[in-house]
Every structure is written in structure tokens, then in C-alpha cells.
Amino acid sequence: MKVLVTGASGFIGRHCVAQLHAKGYEVHAVSSAMRDAPPGVTWHGADLLADGEAAGLVRRIGATHLLHLAWCTQPGKYWTALENFDWLRASLAMIQAFTAIGGKRLVAAGTCAEYDWHGGGICAEATTPLVPGTLYGSSKHALQLQLAAWSRQTGLSSAWGRVFSLYGPHEHPQRLMASTISSLMDGNTATCGNPGLVRDYLHAEDVASAFVALLECELAGPVNIGSGHGVALGDIVTAIGQKLGAVDRVRLPSVSVRGTEPALLVAETSKLALTGWTPKFDLDRGLDDTIAWWRAQPRATLR
């Protein structure tokens, strides 16, 4: 099994690379900048959005399996970034090139933002309407439709992992858990604008192991990647405050302003269970792991 991983230095990708390497696979990791490679992992620095770069890389490496995670993910920008179109185009080129070289299995990262958020609720792959409300969600869903049609036409084995909320070490400092931890560790207050919203959070290491499980099996089509359990955002912030001995500096508004956010967004995970995957972390242990990682970082990293 010769695996090409795009987005290999990202929040999920770094864990996927480590887990695939630990299983003894030949791993080729791709990022926009070269990284120091552990023994057995080959890094490729590449701009996948440059004309011909994505397809050319696939042809040069000749992988049997492709795990495609790369996309624009900068908080506050990726929802509306025009770069979503560029990633859609580059991803289609990669899929076509991978099929042409005789690739055996392709798994790509989707998002819960593909679902209709007007109703929210428990999202199931086969029954929940797919009505993306953002450019990001629409672009991801467009790629999923194209991949599914292409796979039916060519016989390519493929799956699409729809990721729900995630957290863990290396999380972007602007995201909920990272910002809460860093604020409280700096002696500041922490808050949450919508404490009543219920979300499905899964540790990034578990998200990665779910992608690896999908890559190793023959399960086809969209598969939700989540814990299958919902937790209120306010409860998460409070739990972090308690673990840091700073719950007195947690400030939660009594009234939430939801805007377009659904009250409940949780993954139905029975299809994922067919892979035999089980998570390593529950939320309590996952928060401990995340806090321990942040404590080990230089103080400048927290800002």
C-alpha cells in the first residue's frame, strides 16, 4: 500500500501520516512547504493549486491509495474564499490523474456544512437533505457529487468522509477550544457567544484514524466522521475552565444569538461503525490531552 496524503501537515493530516507510517505503509506526504520527514515518510513540497501541479504529482508518485485532505481552512475566511473554486478544480484533476495511473482507492475529506443547516438535527448520509449554505460547503459537495459519478463510471473505489466538529493539539488558536484554553491560561476571561448550541466534537487523532479506516476498507460514498454525541458549547467552555481551575473567569451569556447556526448538529455514525472504527478519546480525556499539549507550548504560541 503506497499512500499519497495531501494536506499532510494540517490539523488532521499530521495524525494520518503518523498513523499510516505506524502501520508500515509507504507514505508520501504533501504540503505547500517541505517538512522534516521521519524515517519511512517522504515529503513533497508542492503548490497543488498551480496549473498541472496536482495531476503531475499524482503521476510522479504513482500511489495505490490517495487520501485527499488539502483545502482552504483558515478560520473566518474559508466559508467564503474564492479559493474554494481553485481547490475544486485541482481536486478534480487529481482524481482524474489518480484513476489514469490505476489507483486503487481514494478517500477525500468532506464537511458537515454540506447538509441543510436550516433544520439541523441528527445528520444521516442517506436521509438528511444536502443544501449547503456557503461557498465552502457548496464546493465540497460539488466535489463529492463529481467523485461519486466518476467512481460509478470508472469503477474507482472511493469514499467521502464528512467531518463534523473537531479539536485537539495543533488546533488553530482562533477556534473554540484552543481560544478558550489560551485565554484562561493567559489569565483572561473566556466566553462563548452561543453556549446553547449543541455540536458533535471528535478529537483530531480520532478523525484521522477514521480516515485511515476508510482508506483501508471498501466502504463507498459519504460517511459521517463524528462521535455521534452532542454537547453544548457552553458546557465545553465550562469544562475547560474547571480543568484549568479558572471556571470563575468563564463568562457565558444568558441569551444566545444564533443567527443562521442550527441549534443541533450531530453525526449519525452507524455507517462509520461498519469499518470497525472506534474512537480513542472521549471528550473528557480529549480535553485533558489538548490542555496538556497547550501547556507544553511556548507562551507566544498561545496568542
Residues in the chain: 303
Dihedrals phi, psi of 7, to nearest 5 degrees: 65, 35
Residues 102-119: tens digit of each pLDDT: 999 999 999 999 999 987
Query: In whole angstroms, what is the distance from residue 138 CA to residue 261 CA?
Result: 17
pLDDT at 39: 78
Is position 284 within any domain? yes
**Whether 224 contacts 266, CB under 8 Å:** no
183 and 92 in one domain?
no
96 and 50 in one domain?
yes
Beta bridge partners of 28: 4, 42
Q: What is the CA radius of gyration of the chain?
A: 19
173 and 103 in one domain?
no
133 and 155 in one domain?
yes
Residues 156-184: tens digit of each pLDDT: 999 999 999 999 999 999 999 999 999 99
192 and 139 in one domain?
no
Element spanning 42, H or E: strand 41-45
243 and 106 in one domain?
no
Dihedrals phi, psi of 41, to nearest 5 degrees: -115, 130
Is position 255 within any domain? yes
Region 268-282: mean pLDDT is: 97
Dihedrals phi, psi of 192, to nearest 5 degrees: -150, 120
Say whether pLDDT at 218 is over 60: yes
Is position 293 within any domain? yes
Q: What total number of domains does the chain contain?
A: 2
Is position 234 within any domain? yes
**Whether 162 contacts 225, CB under 8 Å:** yes
CA dihedral sign, ordered 79, 105, 150, 52: positive
Of the chain, the percentage scoring pLDDT greater than 90 comes to 87
146 and 181 in one domain?
no
C-alpha cell at 30: 504533501
244 and 188 in one domain?
yes
Task: Write down the mean pLDDT value for the chain.
Answer: 94
Please tell me the pTM assigned to this model. 0.95
172 and 108 in one domain?
no
171 and 108 in one domain?
no
140 and 30 in one domain?
yes
**Amino acid identity, position 121:** G
Is position 105 within any domain? yes
Residues 283-302: tens digit of each pLDDT: 999 999 999 999 999 865 44
Region 70-87: mean pLDDT is: 94
Is position 46 within any domain? yes
Domain extent for 158: 2-112+127-164+204-226
191 and 80 in one domain?
no
Tell me the CATH number at 181.
3.90.25.10
